[in-house]
Structure 1
Amino acid sequence: MERIEKMTYLELYELLLEEHRQVFAAQDEMQLESMMKMIIKAARIFVTGCGREGIAARSFAMRLMHLGKETHWLWDDTTPGMQKGDLFIVVNGYGKIGHINYLFDQAGKTGVSRLVITGAPLERTPQEAEYSLFVPACVYKGSDMRVVKSVQPMGNLFEQHLFLLFDIVVMLLTDKMNLTHGQMESRHRNIE
């Protein structure tokens, strides 16, 4: 392949769009359905992640709140304790992020259901989760050979793809929960 530095803007964006198309095509829709059922059923939802994938996770938490789900970003000081009936969504790209694994283990002691979203489902945490969603995009430090490879640095493809995938999930949930965009907008912060 030609060196990235020699590629034009047009060549790069077409290449990146093709990477995302391949990830979407490889996505297991049954896992997405299971994830959505868990979200709908959950009394409360707690979300965590770190780095760029954590930023995508936090944006997902915001949209879940706009859907009317009581949702907490784990690092906020006002986050309550977890309990049975709640859902803990953990984004753990390559499955070996130490403090994320610690939080995952501690949450397991509360009786909460745990969903791990990952690009490395064969690692320890995803295997121990009650549920996992494998996003088949190249992830930073990942070793799963089933992921779509990327010309981008580090975990860019996985991190970018989370934003797109989470937005699609929210759109599907809007329909499944019989909500309108107006109802979502009514929950948007109104003091800006």
Structure 2
Amino acid sequence: MNYYDSTNSIIDELSKSLNNINDEEVVNLFNEIQKADKVFFVGVGRVLLSLKSVAKRLAHLGVKTYIVGQVTEPAITKDDLLIVGSGSGESAFPLTIAKKAKQYGANVAHIGANKECSMQTYSDVFIKIPVSTKLQLPQEISSVQPMTSLFEQSLLLLGDTLALMMVKDQNIDMTELWEHHANLE
């Protein structure tokens, strides 16, 4: 397989994935982000890497974002939102953190591929990315890519979509966003 064939396969998969995410679920997450004082993110592995990119982009838009476990992480409160990325909804660390966040009254949003999971117990909002996971559930969008790459890519692009929605909703001047960009580079 050559580069262009591989690229086109990935783009086709992403298009299917993103076009099958429920708009109402995304709007619910968007509203939760807008009303939260602080937004925390938790995931593991490549999912965490995608979430870190989403957190950074939202920080550029003025949202107070934190990655669970970072050294400057503040306390979570009832005014905050925890966004959990977990395709299966069964990953142990995110489950433990979601349970803890609920104990402090925070809202929890789960972005995953499987609504019928242990994370459902703690989630106020669920956004389904309907792609293949390690669980291999029926009606998932299959992928030619290794492991759960399509989930991680879709998660990142969902985050960028939320950021663009925020820019449009708040009529943000894109040139002013550079004021929030890291400058110790």
Query: What TM-score, normalized to structure 2?
Result: 0.95
What is residue 61 of structure 2 aligned with on the other side?
A: 67
Deviations 1:127-182 (A, max 9, x none): 5311111111222x133322211111110111112122211211111111221212
What is residue 47 of structure 2 aligned with on the other side?
A: 53
What is residue 126 of structure 2 aligned with on the other side?
A: 132
Query: Aligned pair 1:30/2:43, yes or no?
Result: no
Q: Given the alignment, which residue of 5, 10, 14 partners 2:8?
A: 14
Q: Given the alignment, which residue of 152, 165, 185 partners 1:159?
A: 152
Structure 1 window deviating more from structure 2 (15-24 vs 121-130): it is 121-130
In the TM superposition, structure 1's runs of 4+ consecutive aligned residues that sit over 3 Å from their partners are none
What is residue 4 of structure 1 aligned with on the other side?
A: none
CA–CA distance in structure 1, aligned partners of residues 147 and 120 of structure 2: 21
- 1:185 is aligned with what amino acid? W
* Residue pair 2:21, 2:127 contacting (<8 A) in 1 also: no
- 2:92 is aligned with what amino acid? G
- 2:127 is aligned with what amino acid? L
Query: Aligned pair 1:119/2:110, yes or no?
Result: no
Q: Gaps spanning 5+ residues in structure 1: where?
A: 1-6
| 3-state SS of paired residue (2:52) | helix
Structure 1 window deviating more from structure 2 (107-116 vs 9-18): it is 9-18
Query: Aligned pair 1:189/2:182, yes or no?
Result: yes
Deviations 1:67-115 (A, max 9, x none): 1111111111111111111011111121111111111111110000000
Structure 1 window deviating more from structure 2 (36-45 vs 176-185): it is 176-185
| 3-state SS of paired residue (1:108) | helix
Q: Gaps spanning 5+ residues in structure 2: where?
A: none
- 1:187 is aligned with what amino acid? H
| 3-state SS of paired residue (1:163) | helix
| 3-state SS of paired residue (1:138) | coil
Structure 1 window deviating more from structure 2 (130-139 vs 176-185): it is 176-185
Greater RCO, 1 or 2 (C-alpha within 8 Å, sep 6+)? 2
Over the aligned positions, Cα root-mean-square deviation in angstroms equals: 1.3
What is residue 165 of structure 2 aligned with on the other side?
A: 172
Identity of counterpart residues, as a percentage? Answer: 26
Give the structure with higher Rg (CA): 1
Query: Aligned pair 1:93/2:104, yes or no?
Result: no
CA–CA distance in structure 1, aligned partners of residues 29 and 136 of structure 2: 24
